[in-house]
Amino acid sequence: MTHKSVSHNGVDALILDYNGVLGRQPTTAMWTRLADLAEWPGRHLPSFHDAFWAPRNAYDAGELSDLAYWAKVLGHHPGARWLRTLRAADTAMWTRTDPRVLGILSRARAAGVTMVLLSNAPAHLSKVLDATEWRRELMADALYSARLHLCKPDPAAYEHALAATGIADPARVLFVDDRDDNCRAAAGLGLRTLHYTGQPADLEQQLLPALAGRAGS
């Protein structure tokens, strides 16, 4: 079941997922390049995906170092140079943003809506995202799983993000994520939610009436 906010009135803040909302998903070419750099047998992407994702939650939660994560993916420890190459290619896959979404968020920010980023992301990617122009200009704060030491859909992650918005009433905060399980967890804490499926118009529809209401208040 998809949860969406039922009212457009009184949205004071947004809590936003990164990948799949602001950030674009990696292309097949990017996955193939990473598999090549990992020297994956036969460039077999399905098995590489399985190996990549199996330890990813622990990596995102800061429980694994870069070396420990890639050792689990590869089945052996890579050398220092190889590790840096893998980490750089991995990070690059997650740093492309959707200009349409950024444009909508820029309008929301100009209208005074507070925005907080809440992302499952490892430590190195967190540092790269924090250094971007859009992060500095749009987000009042950014919370990453590697720093929180917990991942969505852990309820504590949403509680940290809600506190970062400065809004006491979760019903006045809209949470946007591309995963329905994350949205369900947020809704369980009283947050309004939008299960984002890659259509900027859906986000715009949720935000613009609220912004018009703020402008007229």
Q: Decide if pLDDT at 102 tops 90.
A: yes
Q: At what angle do helices 123-130 and 80-93 cross, to 10 degrees?
A: 50
DSSP character at residue 79: P
Residue 8 is predicted with a pLDDT of: 42
Q: Decide if pLDDT at 6 tops 60.
A: no
Which one is predicted more confidently, 11 or 31? 31
Average pLDDT over residues 165-193: 96
DSSP character at residue 14: E
- Measured in whole angstroms, the distance separating CA 120 from the mean position of its chain's CA atoms is 6
d(CA 130, CA 47): 32
Q: Choose among 130, 127, 136: nearest CA to 106.
A: 136
Residue 156, CB half-sphere, CA atoms under 13 Å: how many? Answer: 8
| Residue 174 bridge partners (DSSP) | 14, 192
Q: Contact, 59 vs 121, CB < 8 A? A: no
Size of the chain in residues: 217
The 10s digit of each residue's pLDDT in 125-140 is: 999 999 999 999 999 9
Q: Decide if pLDDT at 209 tops 70.
A: no
Please, what is the average pLDDT of the chain?
92
Q: Contact, 58 vs 64, CB < 8 A? A: yes
Residue 54 is predicted with a pLDDT of: 98
Query: Is the whole-model pTM more than 0.85?
Result: yes
d(CA 16, CA 190): 16
Number of neighbouring beta carbons within 10 Å of residue 87 = 18
